[in-house]
Amino acid sequence: MGKPTGFLEYERKLPQDRPPEERIKDWNEFHTHFDEESLKEQGARCMNCGVAFCHTGLPLEGGCPLGNLIPEWNDLVYRGKFEEAYKRLSKTSNFPEFTGRVCPALCEGSCTLGMHESSVTTKNIEVHIIDKMFEQGKVVPRIPKKSTEKRVAVIGSGPSGLACADILNQLGHKVTVYERSDRPGGLLMYGIPNMKLDKKIVQRRIDILEKEGITFVTNTEIGKNYPAAKIINQFDAVVLCCGATKPRDLNVEGRDCSGIYFAVDFLKANTKSLLDSNHQDRNFISAEGKDVIIIGGGDTGTDCVGTSIRHGCRSVNQIEIMPELPEERTPANHWPQWPRLKKVDYGQEEAIYLYGKDPRNYLTTVTKVVGDENNNIKEVHTVNVEWKNENGRMTPVPVKGSEKVWPCQLLLIAMGFTGPEDTLIKQFSLETDARSNVKAEEGKYATSLKGVFAAGDMRRGQSLVVWAIHEGREAAKAVDEYLGSR
């Protein structure tokens, strides 16, 4: 603990994001960095607690799932020892440049200082450490010193797949990563907009992994244009990291109207067109000049808001069936749990700047969609709801007289995901759990088919990038143990 009184002397501060009026004109990242002296002050606020809940990683109690040695590198940053801080960070985190940008910072939610004061700015310190090391050329390929000659296929190049491949490669195995899209990265490449995670950052890490010996095969979907049986025969082990990519659909009258899309398709097409041609090819779903309605109030919904605004939409609104979150913790949401509080994210900030109001509409649900004479969407009908306990189960009940009609030419469904796609699951004849996820015991990650493992959202269901990385790391250890016993 570098400065015992640091948390008393310094207040929590974060670097100012680029202002909305500037950032909505481009697709560049909106976060900025502090100068080093300001960052050292923020590192000094860490109390190096006797029991540091920030890196416990307990599913119900919060903390970093990766077990990041947070107090250690906070102290090193305070002392100006950034390279040492990077070495500590790298012991537990494969890709801090990703989590430092898109993780909701579970560590900050369980920070002991956060019981009574504002928590330590762990996430911002993390991303500054790794970005500084990249700038100084300290992040270089680590070539494995030995090879086991064992071959492993990792199917899916999202955060869990990349983490799993990274660990297995460093352990000396020959790793091939298969990706059905044209670029590696999965969710990191096409699920998160460029202004939140610049794709140059993703590609930079992919390039390093390739130099370290990992082979990436794109435009290849196992079970469709590449036989699943062939993978089993070619490799000593297979790890499924395909994510939970089956979107929850909207089941209302008028769902067949043109102009209704899943958020993931909207975001992917936008990023691909941006990377391919800076949008010159027009191969994306444009919100320009349209009244946009987004069903879903989570991070994906926010990304749709920000993307629609950059297209030049006429208006944008979010429909959210759940109630508005409180601004302070409730007794049921005690520390060190993740604080379930209302936040105004970047998309909402931009909508407030442009339209003068928060785009979110709570306790509201869509009842039907109406199209014009050509079946193009023109209206969305909604009703307000109240949550009531009916037969022991909380149920949304429509409020009479609260019906509303919204003009809409683009409707985006951001209602989350129901589980993994089942093509590969069926071809491998894998057992699944009650939620349709691949059944594989935590800690072992082995599926019902010998030599086949599963990790990330495909095993645990829709979750966070940081949990996916954790799963990939742990699955790699299980695979290594399996290969060692062969």
pLDDT tens over the chain, length 486 residues: 668 899 999 999 999 999 999 999 999 999 999 999 999 999 999 998 888 899 888 766 789 999 999 999 999 999 999 999 999 999 999 999 999 999 999 999 999 999 889 999 999 999 999 999 999 999 999 999 999 999 999 999 999 999 999 999 999 999 999 999 999 999 999 999 999 999 999 999 999 999 999 999 999 999 999 999 999 999 999 999 999 999 999 999 999 999 999 999 999 999 999 999 999 999 999 999 999 999 999 999 999 999 999 999 999 999 999 999 999 999 999 888 889 999 999 999 999 999 999 999 999 999 999 999 999 999 999 999 999 998 889 999 999 999 999 999 999 999 999 999 999 999 999 999 999 999 999 999 999 999 999 999 999 999 999 999 999 999 999 999 999 965
Q: Which of 154, 178, 155, 180 is closest to 167 using CA atoms? A: 154
Q: How far apart are CA 476 and CA 187, in angstroms?
A: 20
CA 101, 106, 109, 112 torsion-angle sign = negative
Give me the domains of the chain, ranges plus CATH numbers: 6-21+31-135 (1.10.1060.10), 151-245+418-484 (3.50.50.60), 249-415 (3.50.50.60)
Q: What is the CA radius of gyration of the chain?
A: 23
Q: Which of 415, 303, 399 is closest to 359 using CA atoms? A: 303
Q: Residue 450 corresponds to which tokens in the numbers above? A: 């010998």
CA 287, 284, 420 angle in degrees (round to 5)? 105
Amino acid at 132: K
Q: What is the DSSP letter of 333?
A: S
Q: How far apart are CA 452 and CA 479, in angstroms?
A: 9
Q: Which helix (H) or strand (E) holds 113?
A: none
